[in-house]
Structures are given as C-alpha cells and as structure tokens.
C-alpha cells in the first residue's frame, strides 16, 4: 500500500449536522461516485450501519477501505473511565474494518450544530482545567492505542479546541499517545495559518482533513458573527483547489516529515449548490496532481 492514500468524507453528499443538506442521497450513491472518481476509502457518517460487519458489508462491493470514523466525545464532562466504557464499541468497529485512527471530536458544550455565534463557543478558563482535560484525553488515547487504533484529536469550530493557541495548549499538555487530526479548513477558520500550525505539530499529526476555504466568505463569517451552520450554508468551506489554502505547501511539509496515512477530502457545503460529484472530483484531482508531482520531484532529486 502507498504511504499516503486519498480518501473522502461522505459529507460532500450528505451532512450529519444539517440533515436537510443531501438527506435524500443514499449512501450507495456516495460510495459509487467516490469509487468512480478514484478515492480509495471513506470515513463513516450517519448513514453507515452501526455494527462492524454491516460497515464491512457496505464497503466491500465497492472495494473501498474504511478510513476512520468520528466519535462524539464528552471528556470535558466525563471521567476517562466513563469515556473508555462509551468508546469501546466504536474502537472495535474501526479496528475490525482495518481503520488505524479514530477521529475524536469533543461535543460537550459544543455549539457546532447550533444557531449560536461561534464567538460563544466553550473555553477552558484555567491552567488546571486545561491540564485535567489533557490528562483524561491521554488516558483515553492510551486505551484506544492498546486496541490498535490511535486517537486523532479533531480541533473543530464551535468546540473547546478551535484556535491555533488551543491546539498548542492541548499538544503541550497531552501525552504523545494523543494524535492530532490536522484540518486545514478548521485551522484557517479558527484564525490559524495552516502551514505554520502543521509545521509546529507535525510530529503529532496522524490524520489529515484537507478542506479549503473561500476567503471572502470567511471574512463575512467573522464580521457578521456567524454560527457554524451559517458557515456551512453560506459556502465558507469547499474542496481543495477551489479556495485560498496552499495545499502544495502543506503536502510538501507532510512528505518531508514522512507522513504515512490518509489525506481526506472534506468540505461542509450544500450539495444543491455545490454538486457532490463535481466537487468531490475537483478535490480528488487537485490532491492527486499535487501528490504525484511532489513524489516525482523526490524521485528525481
């Protein structure tokens, strides 16, 4: 298997946070179109079966790998032991289908699915609160790693860990078992410079979401205090090659660091405005071209 593989999240076809966006599109359409475009694997969404066998049965006819799957964590409210009990079945589902990373998203107090301005997101207000959270996360990550699946922490708009400074805090305070899911679009929208953040934490990056942003819409979102659903509906995010982020630079940084894993195309937008197949193909073609060119340069060096 190649060291870097290109996968996709089904959010291009249907959105879990806003079910009205693509809700009528069956999972089979996403899988068939993704395979036809050239993607090697899919992340999970709400339309997948909830059991390990069911997931494998759905993916197998398309010869697609299971990349990973989002887990809605609540460590900000729960103990590590409680979260370990809650996460076990999801870890098994991923591991039994060959996935090596688990996408951990903190949803306790998150406003990502609500019509609330992003500036109202939750925050840790003391050094001790940060450390307590990081310690629990490290314990949880040790558990998932013991089961053969590495926890990949997803910094996310509307949640406790959103900004570049938040990512710095979490990485500094948590153990090396805690991997980082680097999401270029959330990084940019959260006020970070993607290449700078990636470079600073490259040693912890174990999973990558490549999402682009429309710079002018980002500015509107900030100026008008949009919620995360507002950002989605109004086209803040898009696929690589359709926005402002320099993916060639990000990819070079990953290759220089010897990254081995998935590049996942992900863009929360309305498929009625941004047709799923067209945009999924644009994202794939952009990354395939950049990856092939970068690898050829290295072979010729």
- Quick check: 212 and 268 in contact, CB under 8 A? no
| pLDDT score, position 63 | 98
Count other Cβ atoms within 10 Å, centred on residue 32: 15
**Model confidence over 3-18: pLDDT tens digits?**
899 999 999 999 988 8
| Residues of the chain where predicted confidence (pLDDT) is lower than 50 | none
| pLDDT score, position 297 | 86
Against a cut of 0.75, is the pTM above it? Answer: yes
**Model confidence over 68-120: pLDDT tens digits?**
999 999 999 999 999 999 999 999 999 999 999 999 999 999 999 999 999 99
| pLDDT score, position 164 | 98
* Nearest in space to 229 (alpha carbons), one of 112, 105, 107: 112
| pLDDT score, position 295 | 87
What class, spelled out in words, does domain 4-300 have in CATH?
alpha beta
């Amino acid at each position: 298997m190649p060291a870097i593989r290109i996968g996709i999240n089904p959010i291009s076809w249907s959105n879990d946070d806003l079910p009205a966006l693509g809700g009528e599109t069956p999972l089979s359409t996403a899988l068939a179109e993704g395979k036809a475009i050239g993607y090697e694997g899919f992340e999970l969404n709400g339309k997948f079966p909830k059991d390990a066998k069911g997931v494998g049965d759905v993916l197998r006819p398309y010869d697609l790998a299971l990349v990973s799957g989002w887990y809605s964590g609540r460590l900000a409210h729960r103990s590590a032991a409680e979260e370990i009990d809650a996460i076990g079945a999801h870890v098994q589902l991923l591991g039994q289908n060959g996935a090596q990373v688990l996408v951990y998203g903190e949803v306790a107090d998150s406003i990502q699915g609500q019509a609330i301005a992003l500036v109202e997101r939750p925050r840790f207000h003391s050094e001790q609160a940060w450390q307590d959270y990081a310690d629990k996360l490290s314990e949880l990550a040790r558990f998932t790693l013991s089961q053969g699946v590495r926890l990949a922490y997803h910094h996310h708009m509307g949640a406790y860990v959103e900004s570049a400074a938040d990512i710095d805090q979490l990485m500094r305070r948590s153990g090396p078992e805690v991997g980082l899911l680097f999401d270029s679009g959330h990084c940019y929208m959260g006020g970070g410079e993607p290449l700078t953040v990636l470079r600073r934490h490259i040693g912890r990056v174990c999973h990558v979401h490549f999402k682009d942003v429309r710079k002018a819409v980002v500015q509107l979102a900030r100026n008008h205090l949009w919620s995360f659903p507002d950002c989605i509906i109004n086209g803040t995010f898009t696929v690589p090659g359709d926005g402002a982020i320099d993916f060639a630079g990000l990819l070079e940084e990953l290759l220089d660091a010897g990254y081995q894993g998935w590049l996942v195309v992900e863009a929360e937008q309305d498929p009625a405005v941004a047709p799923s197949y067209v945009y999924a193909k644009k994202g794939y073609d952009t990354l395939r071209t950049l990856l092939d060119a970068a690898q050829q340069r290295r072979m010729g060096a």
